[in-house]
């Protein structure tokens, strides 16, 4: 078993992390899993102050879902996804996820050291590159900073970038990407 | 047979188009195939003045390769790919392409009307979202404009954008993305 089996490559893999909150409910958040050798079981992730980080600290477990759904990325950036979005709760698997992985997770400074301990490929697919989808991912990087920043100048700059990507999504994306931007734009009003 | 079978979704699908030059050699270029209904066989593509356009005009045939290889996208943006890059020449299929399609193509103004007439899925895969790959695609949009523009101010602006994406590729990408940027940076010196 190695990271590559489940769709991870060298570099930063943007996935939906699923952890369990103290009350047993599921926490979902997009995070980047940093992989140096995809033929190994070892990775790490930068975890900022968040529920994900608290849950990892307590449980020492993190699940990852490899998925290509712009709306899911947008929703998970700002809230926990309800059970309706999952096709399985144990292990936690979002509908249409291509694969899931379970990582043993240990906080170390700003990072969590991750070790792949279980996983499954649920479906493989063939999809063409879509700049609209990519635009959602980039916009979310900026939008999640936007909502925590105070500096009005920086906020304005981020908003401009987000609106730039919105244009790409309108031109190149499909409904999913447009729905994702509805969620994003609501956050930057 | 429908577009969705080969990885096309609604929106603009970034693929490598393969057409035949007048001397029989293969022409390769990244283009965006515009799909309104992926359950149909009909699509279109904007074709600027290019060898692709001339070949489509003459042959009324265009092949598409659905592929996720940043280096191939970068190379094909600036030159024809040699035969070594193909795993099949008839139909023309690049190594590691997920699928190929054959379109009947008819120029209409700035666009080509496309009708899917043949195709095959060669391999399906599972891959996590990678911002480094996406950064290559965005940088190529700017780099291909950069090389034809004369206006120094616009060129400077495009170069800044390209260098912004280079930072993302260095941080999030793997070797393929870094190789792609070597090709891109050489063009904007």
- Over the stretch A7-52, which tens digit does the pLDDT of each residue have? 999 999 999 999 999 999 999 999 999 999 999 999 999 998 889 9
Region B142-168: mean pLDDT is 95
Confidence of residue B18 (pLDDT cuts 50, 70, 90): very high
CB contact under 8 A, B128 and A174: no
Write down the mean pLDDT value for chain A. 96
| Chain A closest-CA separation from residue B32 CA (Å) | 9
Q: Contacts of residue B13 in chain A, CB cutoff 8 Å?
A: 128-130
CA distance B105 to B112: 6
- Contact between residue B161 and residue A168 where contact means Cβ atoms under 8 Å apart: no
- Give the DSSP H/E element, type plus range, for residue B149: none
Q: Contacts of residue A33 in chain B, CB cutoff 8 Å?
A: 128
pLDDT score of B33 = 98
Region A53-69: mean pLDDT is 97
| Chain A closest-CA separation from residue B90 CA (Å) | 21
Residue A179 has pLDDT above 90, yes or no: yes
CB contact under 8 A, B126 and A125: yes
Confidence of residue B32 (pLDDT cuts 50, 70, 90): very high
Question: What is the SS3 assignment for A111?
Answer: strand
Q: If you measure CA to CA, which chain B residue comes closest to A101? A: B128
Is residue B132 within 8 angstroms of chain A, CB to CB? yes
- Flag whether the pTM goes above 0.90: yes
Q: Contacts of residue A138 in chain B, CB cutoff 8 Å?
A: 131, 134
Region B126-145: mean pLDDT is 97
Report how far Cα B5 is from the mean position of its chain's Cα atoms.
Answer: 19
CA distance B140 to B161: 10
Q: Contacts of residue B123 in chain A, CB cutoff 8 Å?
A: 126
Segment B106-121, tens digit of pLDDT: 999 999 999 999 999 9
Segment A121-141, tens digit of pLDDT: 999 999 999 999 999 999 999
Q: Contacts of residue A130 in chain B, CB cutoff 8 Å?
A: 9, 11-14
Interfacial B residues in 51-80 facing A (CB < 8 Å): 66, 68, 73
Confidence of residue A89 (pLDDT cuts 50, 70, 90): very high
3-state SS, chain A, equals CCHHHHCCCCEEEEEEEEEECCCCCEEEEEEEEEECCCCCCEEEEECCCCHHHHHHHHHCEEEEEECCCHHHHHHHHHCCCCHHHEEEECCEEECCCCEEEEEEEEEECCEEEEEEEEEEECCCECCCECHHHHHHHHHHHHHHHHCCCCCHHHHHHHHHHHHHHHHHHHHHCCHHHHHHHHHHHHHCC
Region A58-65: mean pLDDT is 98
Q: Report ipTM for this prediction.
A: 0.96
| Chain A closest-CA separation from residue B58 CA (Å) | 27
Pairing of strands B86-89, B92-94: antiparallel
Q: If you measure CA to CA, which chain B residue comes closest to A64? A: B128
Is residue B119 within 8 angstroms of chain A, CB to CB? no
Residue B75 has pLDDT above 90, yes or no: yes
pLDDT score of B50 = 87
CATH of domain B3-121: 2.30.110.10
CA distance B66 to B79: 18
pLDDT score of B174 = 94
CATH of domain A131-188: 1.20.58.290
pLDDT score of A50 = 87
Is residue A34 within 8 angstroms of chain B, CB to CB? no
| Chain A closest-CA separation from residue B137 CA (Å) | 8
Is residue A119 within 8 angstroms of chain B, CB to CB? no
Region B117-135: mean pLDDT is 97
pLDDT score of A49 = 82
CB contact under 8 A, B68 and A137: no
Region B168-185: mean pLDDT is 96
| Chain A closest-CA separation from residue B35 CA (Å) | 9
pLDDT score of A189 = 82
Closest residue to B127, CB basis, from A9, A12, A173: A9
Q: Contacts of residue B125 in chain A, CB cutoff 8 Å?
A: 7, 124-126
Question: Can you give the residue ranges of every domain in chain A?
Answer: 3-121, 131-188
């Amino acid at each position: 078993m190695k990271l590559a089996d489940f769709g991870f490559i060298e570099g930063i893999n943007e996935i939906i992390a699923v952890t369990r909150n103290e009350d047993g409910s599921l926490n979902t958040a997009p995070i980047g899993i940093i992989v140096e050798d995809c033929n190994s079981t070892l990775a790490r992730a930068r975890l900022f102050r968040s529920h994900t980080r608290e849950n990892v600290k307590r449980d020492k477990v993190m699940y990852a879902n490899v998925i290509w759904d712009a709306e899911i990325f947008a929703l998970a950036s700002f809230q926990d996804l309800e059970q309706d979005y999952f096709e399985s709760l144990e292990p936690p698997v979002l509908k249409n996820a291509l694969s899931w992985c379970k990582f043993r997770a240990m906080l170390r400074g700003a990072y969590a050291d991750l070790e792949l301990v279980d996983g499954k490929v649920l479906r493989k697919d063939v999809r063409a590159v879509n700049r609209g989808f990519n635009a959602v991912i980039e916009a979310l990087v900026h939008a999640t900073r936007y909502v925590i920043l105070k500096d009005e100048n920086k906020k304005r700059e981020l908003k401009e970038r987000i609106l730039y990507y919105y244009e790409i999504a309108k031109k190149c994306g499909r409904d999913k990407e447009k729905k994702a931007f509805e969620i994003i734009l609501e956050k930057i009003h």
